[in-house]
Amino acid sequence: MLDAIRTRRAAKTDSRFTAARSVIKVGKIEIGGNAKVVVAGPCSVESWEQILSAAVAVRSAGATMLRGGAFKPRTSPTSFQGLGLKGLELLFRAGRKTGLPVVTEVMSENDVDVVTEYADLIQVGARNMQNFALLKRLAKIPKPVLLKRGPAATVKEWLSAADYLMTDGNTNVILCERGIRGFDPALRYTLDLASVALVKELSTLPVIVDPSHATGKRSLIAPAARAAIAIGADGLIVEVHPSPEKALSDAEQQLDYGQFEELMKTIRRPMPEYALPIDVASG
């Protein structure tokens, strides 16, 4: 089975052929090394005040990169579609002002140049994981790419999508697990953490986890983030908003600043103690 998954991947990041993990540089931050990386920020960039406030807050709580959507993929055409170029500029400025490299999604081949100019890490969203025209275009850019797993993508399809980027020249790929489609309506998606461990076994590429989209439920984001780090993820990407209840998108799953600080404590909490066997004599 694993051989079947492995055979077509780029040799450079195939764990059979190299022992070295891929460490990807995003601005001055490294992803894939020993230190875990937390990316945080609002689902959508909504205004200068909002994105600057979020950048300052997440940095102060320990995040080292800033996220924010400018071009938003929304299920319905009548939902808020993002600020576009304006959002890109605001995100860039907030990142530079706080010293945080920025990540944002590109949805169109025609926006690749402008997004590449403004962003330090270019996100391919889950819905576009197999938008091969977009992947081929991103294979030529000088910036790293964050490749989210599609909600119905197998691990093999996910790694093959990364191949589209790498075969054409861009080996600066960071993978992101964000929940797969499952049958239980209790949560938005099914967080597939075992696949994170599997991918790290098959490939040298860094993998981060998005507990916000994966659970879609505020109270589960910190525990899920902690489990992601425990299983070996190289980092997290978390949605944080000054006033989640007023957010123009994903209101249900964004954390406020206090909740994000709590998350940063949760993921650092020591591992617990274990019960000891009962003495046979006394047992």
State which of residues 195, 204, 249, 253 lies at the interface with a second copy (CB under 8 A): 195
State which of residues 13, 22, 37, 207 lies at the interface with a second copy (CB under 8 A): 37
> What is the smallest separation between the CB atom of 226 and a second copy, expressed in angstroms?
5
Beta bridge partners of 44: 69
- Please state, in angstroms and as integers, the Cα–Cα distance from residue 100 to each residue in 10, 87, 118, 150, following that order: 31, 16, 13, 27
> What is the smallest separation between the CB atom of 241 and a second copy, expressed in angstroms?
20
Start-end of H helices in 46-84: 48-61
State which of residues 22, 44, 50, 131 lies at the interface with a second copy (CB under 8 A): 131
Residues 6+ apart with CB under 8 A from 64: 29, 37, 38, 39, 100, 101
Mapping DSSP to helix (H, G, I), strand (E, B) and coil, where does residue 134 land?
helix
d(CA 122, CA 95) in angstroms, rounded, equals: 14
Q: Interface with a second copy by CB under 8 A: which range of 34-42, 115-123, 238-246, 254-262?
A: 34-42
Q: Interface with a second copy by CB under 8 A: which range of 15-23, 84-92, 214-222, 253-261?
A: 214-222
Structural contact between residues 196 and 232, judged by C-beta atoms closer than 8 angstroms: yes
The nearer residue to a second copy, 18 or 60, going by C-beta atoms, is: 60
- Please state, in angstroms and as integers, the Cα–Cα distance from residue 207 to each residue in 3, 30, 138, 175, 195, following that order: 20, 13, 19, 5, 10
Contact set for a second copy, span 215-254 (CB under 8 A): 215, 217, 219-220, 223-224, 226-232, 235
Contact set for a second copy, span 167-186 (CB under 8 A): 167-168, 180-186
d(CA 132, CA 212) in angstroms, rounded, equals: 26
Q: How far is C-alpha 247 from the geometric centre of its chain's CA atoms?
A: 20
Residue 238: both structure tokens together? 């978390």
Contact set for a second copy, span 83-122 (CB under 8 A): 97-100, 107-111
> What is the smallest separation between the CB atom of 282 and a second copy, expressed in angstroms?
8
12 binds a second copy (CB under 8 A): no
Tell me the per-residue interface mask from 51 to 90 with a second copy, x by CB under 8 A, - otherwise: --------x--xxx--------xxxxxx------------
> What is the smallest separation between the CB atom of 121 and a second copy, expressed in angstroms?
14
214 binds a second copy (CB under 8 A): yes
The count of chain residues that interact with a second copy, using the rule CB under 8 A, is 98
The nearer residue to a second copy, 27 or 52, going by C-beta atoms, is: 27
Residues 6+ apart with CB under 8 A from 30: 23, 24, 37
Q: Interface with a second copy by CB under 8 A: which range of 11-19, 46-54, 170-178, 268-276?
A: 268-276
261 binds a second copy (CB under 8 A): no
In 3D space, the residue among 20, 10, 41 whose CA is nearest the CA of residue 166 turns out to be 10
> What is the smallest separation between the CB atom of 25 and a second copy, expressed in angstroms?
12
